[in-house]
Chain A
C-alpha cells in the first residue's frame, strides 16, 4: 500500500518564477492538505482540498493556489516566488477528517 507520494523531492528556482508541486494521497484517502515548513519551525497550514474544492485556507497570500483532481491527487502552485518561500512543502492525506498521513515533502530553494 503506497503512502503519500510527492514530487519533485528537491528543486531550485529563482525569484519571480513559478513552481508546481504534486501529491498523490494514500490509497483510499479523499482529502489532501498542504503545509509549509521553514527551517527550524513547525509546519504551517496552507490549504485543504476535498471533493476537488478548497475547503479551508490558512494565512497565505493568493500567490499560493492549488487544485485537486478527480483521482484525489493534488497540486500546489506558487507564483512570483520570493526568497521567503524557500521551505519544505509537505502534503498530507486523510479520509475525510481522520488521521493525517504525511509525504516526504518537496524541498524548494529560491535564489
Chain B
C-alpha cells in the first residue's frame, strides 16, 4: 500500500514567522510531488509542484524535496492569517498511474 503521511496538526504559527509543513512517502520510485492548499469549505488548489531534489521557491513559498529520505516539505515565509488552511501533500506513484494524497496538515496563523 503506497502511502503519503502528514501530521494532521493543527500547526499554530505566529504571523510573520516561517511555517514548516512536512510530508513523507513510501514509494521510493515516486518522481512528482505537489502541494495543495484547501480553505475550509473549498476545493484544493495547487500551490507548488517539485520534481528534483533540492529547493524550489515561488514567492513566499519554498518546496523542498529529498528523495533519498523520501521527504518533501513546504515552507511559508512571512506567514499571513490568509495562509490559514489545510495543506495537502500529493505524490505521483512510481507506476505513474495516479496521484496519492496525504490527509493534510491544518495550519493556523495567529495574529
A and B co-occur in one complex: no
